[in-house]
Amino acid sequence: MLKKSIYFISILAVFMLFSSYARAEVDGEVQYILNTFLFLVSGFLVMWMAAGFAMLESGMVTSKSVSVICAKNIGLFSIAGIMFWMVGYNLAYGIPEGGYIGKFIPWSDASAVDTGYSDGSDWYFQMVFCATTVSIVSGTLAERIKLWPFFLFAAILAGIIYPIVMGWQWGGGWLAAAGFSDFAGSTLVHSTGGAAALAGAMILGPRLGRFTKKGEPAPVKPFAASSIPLVTLGIFILWLGWFGFNGGSQLAAGTLEDVSSVATIYINTNLAAGGGVLAAATVSRVIGGKTDVVMMLNGAIAGLVGITAEPLTPSPLAAIFIGAIAGVLMYFSTKLLFKMKIDDVVGAIPAHLVAGVWGTLAVPLTNGDVTFGAQFLGTISVVVFVFVVSLIVFQIIKNTVGLRISKEAERLGTDKAEVGVIAYGIRD
C-alpha cells in the first residue's frame, strides 16, 4: 500500500512539474495572443470612428456639401494608412531615446513573442489613431476647401507632422524623458488635429457670408446643418469607438490587473462624456435661453477628449468633473471663435484642441506621478509646433496649387463643384 502511495505521489509530482513547465512555456504566448487581440479589437472600434466623423460632418454641413464630406473621409483614411506605412510609423517609433525625430523608412514586421504582441497589430492600432487626427481637420474646413489640396495636406499631416509629435512621447522621445504624460492622446491626437484645423481655418477664411459686416454670425438658415439626426448618429458612433481609443491604450490584456484597468477606463470614458453633455446643455440653457442640441453633441466629444489624457487614475466623480469642465470650455471657446470670425463648421477646434489642452493639463489632478510643469511643456510644445508647421504648409499649398474653391463654386456647393454627385434630391 505504501509503495502504491509513493508511486502515485511520484507520478503526480512529475505531472505537476511538467504542467508547471508547460504553463511557463505558454504564458508568454497566451499574453501575446491576448495583447494582440486587444490591439486588433480596439483598432476595429477606432476605425469605426471614421464612420462617426463622416456622419458628424455630413450632418453639420449644408445639404449641398455632403458628398464631398464622404469623399474626404474615405480619402483621408486611405491616405493616412498608406502614409503611416510608408514613413509615419518609423518616424514615431524609430526615434532615439530622448530624441526628436525617427527614420524615414517604411514599416516592417518585427514580431516576436518576447515583445508581448504582434507588431502588425500595433501598426494597425497606431494607424487608426493617425487617421483620427486627420479626420479632425476635415470638418473644420468644410464647404470651401478644394478636395485634392486637402488630400495633400492630409498626407503631410499623417506621414510627417503627427508621427513626429507622437514620437516625442509614445516613441520615447524628449517629452517622454521630460515626464510628459498623455495616456491616449488628448494632446498628441486631438490637440494636434485641432491645432492643424485652426491653422487651416485661418488661412482659408470663413465661408462666404458666414459673418456680417459687423462681425456677427450670419442668420442660421443659409448655413443650417443638413441633418441633426445624422450628427447624433455620428456622435454615438464616436462615443462607441472611444472605448477602443482609450481602452486599447492600456496596451495589454494579459493579466487580471490589465483587464481590470481596461474596465475602469471604459467607465471613466463613459462618465466623462456624460459630464460633457450635461455641462454643455446646462450652460447653453442658462446663457442662451435654449438647450442647444449641437452644443450637447459637441459636449460629448469634448468630455471624451478631456478624459483621454488620463482615463485610468480618476475616480468616477473626477471623470465626470473633467468631462464637465471640457464641455463648459468647449461652449465658451465656440463663442470666442465667432468673435474672432474663425469659421469652424463642426466645432472641432473647441471640442478637440481646447478640450485636449484642458484634459492634458488636468492629468496631475488625479495622477501624482505627473507634474503640471511637464504637462504644460508637452502641451504647448505640441500645439505650437503643429500650428506653425500646418500654417506654413497650408500657405505653401495656397500659393502653389491653390486651396480654396472659387466664389461661384462655393455658391453652387462643393458637391457640384468638386465631385459632381448630389447627396440629396431635395436641396436647401
Residues 282-292: pLDDT tens digits? 999 999 999 99
Cell match 491653390: residue? 402
**How much is the pLDDT for 115?**
81
Distance in angstroms (rounded) separating the CA atoms of residues 217 and 55: 24
- pLDDT of residue 77 exceeding 50, the answer is yes
Distance in angstroms (rounded) separating the CA atoms of residues 182 and 378: 9
The answer to which of 225-229, 273-277, 310-314 has the lowest mean pLDDT is: 225-229
- pLDDT of residue 8 exceeding 90, the answer is no
Burial 357-385 (b: 16+ CB within 10 A, else e): bbbbbbbbebbeebbeebbebbbebbbeb
Residue 1: how many CB atoms within 10 A of its CB?
Answer: 5
User: What value does the mean pLDDT take over residues 177-194?
Assistant: 98
Q: For residue 2, what are the contacts with CB-CB under 8 A and spacing of at least 6?
A: none
State the cell numbers at 313. 487614475
- For all residues of the chain together, what is the average pLDDT? 92
**How much is the pLDDT for 112?**
79
User: What value does the mean pLDDT take over residues 66-78?
Assistant: 97
- pLDDT of residue 379 exceeding 50, the answer is yes
- pLDDT of residue 104 exceeding 70, the answer is yes
**How much is the pLDDT for 190?**
98
Amino acid residing at 81: G
Q: Is the distance from CB of 306 to CB of 359 less than 8 angstroms?
A: yes
Distance in angstroms (rounded) separating the CA atoms of residues 239 and 274: 10
Distance in angstroms (rounded) separating the CA atoms of residues 399 and 362: 40
Domain 24-419: which topology? Ammonium transporter fold (1.10.3430)
**Residue 185 backbone class (left: φ over 0; alpha: ψ -120 to 50; beta: rest):** left
Which of 300, 405, 415 lies closest to 355 in space, CA to CA? 300
**How much is the pLDDT for 270?**
98
Distance in angstroms (rounded) separating the CA atoms of residues 113 and 118: 8
> What are the sequence ranges of the domains in the chain?
24-419
- pLDDT of residue 62 exceeding 70, the answer is yes
